[in-house]
Amino acid sequence: PRRRRMRGKLRDLLTCTFSSEPRPTLHRSRSSGNNVPSSKDGVLWAAGGDDCGTAPDETDTLSDPGAGGDKLEGTDSAQDDTLHLQRRVGLFSGVALIVGTMIGSGIFVSPSGLLIRTGSVGMSFVIWIACGVLSLLGALAYAELGTMNTSSGAEYAYFMDAFGPLPAFLFSWVSTLVLKPSQMAIICLSFAKYAVEAFVTECEPPETVVKLVSVLAILVIMYINCYSVNLATGVMNVFTAAKLVAILIVIVGGLWKFIEGNTQNIEQPFQGTTSSIGNVATAFYTGLWAYDGWNNLNYVTEEIKNPSKNLPRAIIIGIPLVTVCYVLINISYLAVMSPAEMVESEAVAVTFGNR
């Protein structure tokens, strides 16, 4: 009889494992230590059903407290035990998150590429502004999605709602294995190029040295993130502040030169504009790289205070602010360098600093 019971249990377990119906999850109550039913998908479950987690009868859910700890304690207890992220991100923090993640290596690398592809200063400014408008439209679409689904995760949560778990799973792994590593490689290569060029001024920095410095930067970042969360947060805050200070110096210095009368580089803004649609398209691609990061606030939707209002407000404030900042930075570059000098320079900000 014992072996028959074991075989029966094993058969039931295999049936539950390969069954197409979802299996419920039981949570542990903090107050009494009893099993509290999960309220996922709007259905409350308790451990009073069969081995596969079938929902108990209504009579079981209304049993007296002395009937045992495997019965449903009540909806209030189940709701109290649900874990939620604390909503600490306000409007100012949301704007800071958007601005901080958008402004990065792109504005230091993209200006020369835009000038090469557009052929003129005026057309490059048109592309910069158009990329900002396009990013704003995409972010407003994300704001609509974020107010409909307030779960954190951005694309993963939206794919899960719209298409199910398989597309969401595939996107998450593609992002983890391809998209994010590629972005990290580009950012570290840009950092290495600027770092090496600061010490090598008479010739082009050796490509091998640039790659070694970028690999070293990746290893240092990995070590910091593995060693301590607090250390990683502190390093991030320091570098974010340094980045914003550097951009402020570029804008103030360039505008000062512009006020002094260095306007010769923008007197004929559309001279030499390209007529190739392909060049304009690749210029858009180059410009949009500098605007990447406008969707990062949707990854923390659960932590935003009043997301239905603060999420779209932060987007409407943050992205136009970045667009204005990028236009001012390009004006500052042109107040010190000619378009030809910007095209020849692989590190525009370093050339600007040397001037």
Q: Higher model confidence: residue 134 or residue 304?
A: 134
Q: 43 or 162: whose pLDDT is higher?
A: 162
What local confidence, expressed as pLDDT, does residue 126 receive? Answer: 93
**In the chain, domain spans:** 2-80, 91-354
In angstroms, rounded to a whole number, what is the distance separating the alpha carbons of residues 349 and 355? 10
Could you tell me if 29 and 77 are in contact, meaning their C-beta atoms sit under 8 angstroms apart?
A: yes
CA 19 to chain centre: 36
Q: How confident is the model at residue 138 (pLDDT cuts 50, 70, 90)?
A: very high
pLDDT the model gives residue 14: 52
Looking at residue 67, what is its pLDDT?
Answer: 41
- Residue 212: its pLDDT value, please? 94
Identify which of 22-31, 68-77, 167-176, 343-352 has the greatest average pLDDT: 167-176
pLDDT (tens digit, 9 = 90+) per residue, 320-341?
A: 999 999 999 999 888 888 888 8
- Answering whether pTM is above 0.75, one says no
Which of the residue ranges 1-5, 151-155, 258-262, 263-267 would you say has the lowest mean pLDDT? 1-5
**What pLDDT, on a 0 to 100 scale, did the predictor assign at position 45?**
40
Question: Is residue 61's pLDDT more than 80?
Answer: no
How confident is the model over 9-26, as pLDDT tens digits?
A: 656 655 554 444 444 443
Q: Quick one: how far is CA 197 from the chain centroid? A: 29
The answer to whether residue 287 scores a pLDDT higher than 50 is: yes
- pLDDT value of residue 96: 82
Provide the pLDDT for residue 132: 94
Pairing state of beta strands 27-28 and 35-36?
A: antiparallel
Please provide the CATH number assigned to the domain covering 91-354: 1.20.1740.10
SS3 call for 89: strand
Percent of the chain with pLDDT over 90: 15
HSE toward the beta carbon, residue 236, CA cutoff 13 A? 13
**Contact, 149 vs 157, CB < 8 A?**
yes
- Residue 227 tokens read as 């060693």
Q: How confident is the model at residue 123 (pLDDT cuts 50, 70, 90)?
A: very high
Mean pLDDT of the chain: 76
Instruction: Kindly give the interhelix angle for 106-118 and 180-197, rounded to the nearest 10 degrees.
Output: 90
pLDDT recorded at residue 180: 85
Q: Which two tokens stand for residue 331?
A: 């004006």
Query: pLDDT tens across 229-268, in order?
Result: 678 767 877 877 788 888 888 889 888 888 888 888 888 8
Q: If we measure between CA atoms, which residue out of 140, 110, 141, 139 comes closest to residue 127?
A: 110
The answer, yes or no, to whether residue 186 has pLDDT greater than 50, is yes
Q: Give pLDDT, residue 223.
A: 92
Distance of alpha carbon 329 from alpha carbon 253, whole angstroms: 10
Digit-coded pLDDT (tens) for 294-318: 888 888 888 888 888 888 999 999 9
